[in-house]
Structure 1
Amino acid sequence: MIVEVADFRVDPKNHEAFGQALTHGVQSVLSKAQGYQAHSILAGIESPGRYLLTVHWNTLEDHTQGFRESPAFAEWRAIIGPFFAQPPQVEHFTLLP
């Protein structure tokens, strides 16, 4: 299993609307992807307009190839992309025992 961590920055005035769009996108698109296991959404307190999304995937390829190269990725970006103040920073991690 790997963990994707996506750091999203949006205009603070869109903080609440983006949170709703992100939740909707995860529930309607991302959670249906092959290899998806679980997620968490963290909304910034000191930094309104900042969100962290963690997604647990079975494999790195489930995210980088299976999801990102699928039509579902375009649907996902259509839901959340209009809010971006800058491109998201995305990295992958392994869990230590």
Structure 2
Amino acid sequence: MILEAALLHVKPSHEQQFEHDFAIAGQYISVINGYKGHSLHKCMEQENKYLLLVNWETLEDHTIGFRQSAEYLEWKKLLHHYYDPFPVVEHFEKVLEN
């Protein structure tokens, strides 16, 4: 299992519309092979900062399966104009769990 993590800095005063559009965008990512679920967290200290976490079966399910799909183009259309700066996306694998 791979965890994708991205800090999303949404343009100030666009948070409410971003959250609305993000809920819609979930339909595009959730149909991709290897997708295992996602969550969006809003920062308590900075109102326009979010943390996106997505669970994937493999790294390639995200980097190829999603990023090279028609669904990604729809996701991008809905969400990418909200970010400033554009987020860095990183992938993690679990090494320890309590």
TM-score exceeds 0.5: yes
The runs of 5 or more residues in structure 2 that have no matched partner are: none
Identical columns (%): 36
Partner of 2:3: helix, strand, or coil? Answer: strand
Q: Distance in 1 between matches of 2:68 and 2:48?
A: 28
**CA displacement at 1:85 relative to structure 2:** 1.6
Q: Is it true that 1:39 corresponds to 2:38 in the alignment?
A: yes
AA aligned to 1:20 is: H
- Segments of 5+ residues of structure 1 without an aligned counterpart are none
- When normalised by structure 2's length, the TM-score is 0.91
In structure 1, the partner of 2:8 is 8
Does the residue aligned with 2:85 lie in a helix, a strand or coil?
A: coil
Q: Secondary structure at the match of 2:13?
A: helix
Shift of 1:9: 0.7
Aligned-partner Cα distance in 1 for 2:50–2:20? 12
Q: Which runs of 4+ in 1 moved over 2 A?
A: none
Compute the displacement of 1:70 (Å). Answer: 1.1
- Give 1:12 shift: 2.4
1:96 is displaced (CA, Å) by 2.2
The residue identity in structure 2 corresponding to 1:32 is V
Q: TM-score, with normalisation over the residues of structure 1?
A: 0.92
Distance 1:29 1:52 in 2: 19
Aligned length: 96
User: Matched residue of 1:64: which SS?
Assistant: helix
DSSP-derived class of the 2:21 partner: helix
Structure having the higher helix fraction is 1
